[in-house]
Amino acid sequence: MGKIKVEVSYLPGVEDPEAITLTKNLRVLGYKTVKSVKISKVYEFDLAGKEGREQVHEIAKKLLCNEVIQDFHVKE
Amino acid sequence: MLLVMEGTNCEDEAFRSFSESGFDPKKVHVNELDHTALEDFDAVYLPGGFSAGDYVRAGSLFASRLMASKSAELARFIDEGKPVIGVCNGFQILAESGLIPDVSHHGKREVALASNISNRFECRLIYIRNVGRNRMLSEVAMDPTPVPVAHGEGRVVFSDKSIIEEMKQRGQILFAYSDPDGNTAGYPWNPNGSEENIAGMTNEEGNVIGLMPHPERLYYGYQLPYKLRSGKPTIGKQFFGAVHKYVMKVTA
């Protein structure tokens, strides 16, 4: 039993238009100290057994993350 | 076979385009895949839409369902030279499945359809022209041809720059965005910021085809704006007609 988190984010160098738009608008709003913003997505899994952890890695690799443009980190 | 699931929304136009071009299409829901034999069909078509709400990434859940159920059968189907075509969300599904461009022949994901550089959903008429050497679609869009696009995630991005070079050498880049005179140009002619202005691509054999624009949405001449009606066959007629001609040859 337990919870496990997977964070999926863009690889360095991959342009994220959402983050660029957010940064631009934050500057317009006066937050001049914001140099850039990185957006990532966190999936939290509630697992029934220990064997689930391996499955989460598999899910992250196969489905949650497209390694062409993204990377993932599993946080236990 | 028009493969659908919750969230696909271009299957009716595609059904009509296939019917008008001489096919006898059938819609199959992804839930029925385990009880459906691909060999009973001449072509597989993945329509546009927002399959499974486009959650996680556009097309990724549909791709997982498709490959979990039909990976081996689909590989055989492709080896036989039968067409597997994905339009818009269908293209995203093919890319997520690793079926396209498949330069390595290992079914790896080599391309991603990332968010449009404009950070907008681009829904309008654009132009494409044929830049490939595809035996099925060799006569489609030889001149700059108007076709609708409607997507938020259509920017072709590669895992490795060498893939583009390989694809160029093998003629796997099929359609490129252009201006009405056929010159490649940036936004707004290229609606998403795709590398090399890529609008559509194929596998090496040329029978797995993915494209972001929607030929099924422009089958009849009257679907074009009045000023663009030239009397030439529409992109839909050209595209689905060519697929039918090819299927007749392959299955003869």
Is B166 considered catalytic here?
no
Do A18 and B60 make contact, defined as CB atoms within 8 angstroms?
no
Residue range A2-75, CATH number: 3.30.1280.10
Do A66 and B60 make contact, defined as CB atoms within 8 angstroms?
yes
Model-level pTM? 0.93
Identify the residue with better confidence: B184 or B98. B98
B11, B88, B96, B151: which one is catalytic? B88
Name the residue in chain B with its Cα closest to that of A62: B64
Shortest distance between the Cα of B58 and any Cα of chain A, in A, equals: 11
Do B115 and A17 make contact, defined as CB atoms within 8 angstroms?
yes
Shortest distance between the Cα of A33 and any Cα of chain B, in A, equals: 23
- The distance from CA B35 to its chain's CA centroid, rounded to whole angstroms, is 25
- The distance from CA B160 to its chain's CA centroid, rounded to whole angstroms, is 22
Share of chain B above pLDDT 70, in %: 100
Q: Quickly count: other Cβ atoms within 10 Å of residue A33's Cβ.
A: 7
Does the structure's ipTM exceed the value 0.90? no
Tens of pLDDT, residues B192-236: 999 999 999 999 999 999 999 999 999 999 999 999 998 999 999
Tens of pLDDT, residues A8-28: 999 999 989 999 999 999 999
Is B105 considered catalytic here?
no
Q: Quickly count: other Cβ atoms within 10 Å of residue B166's Cβ.
A: 16
CATH fold, domain B2-116+147-165+203-250, is Rossmann fold (3.40.50)
Q: What angle do CA A45, A9, B87 make, to 5 degrees?
A: 95
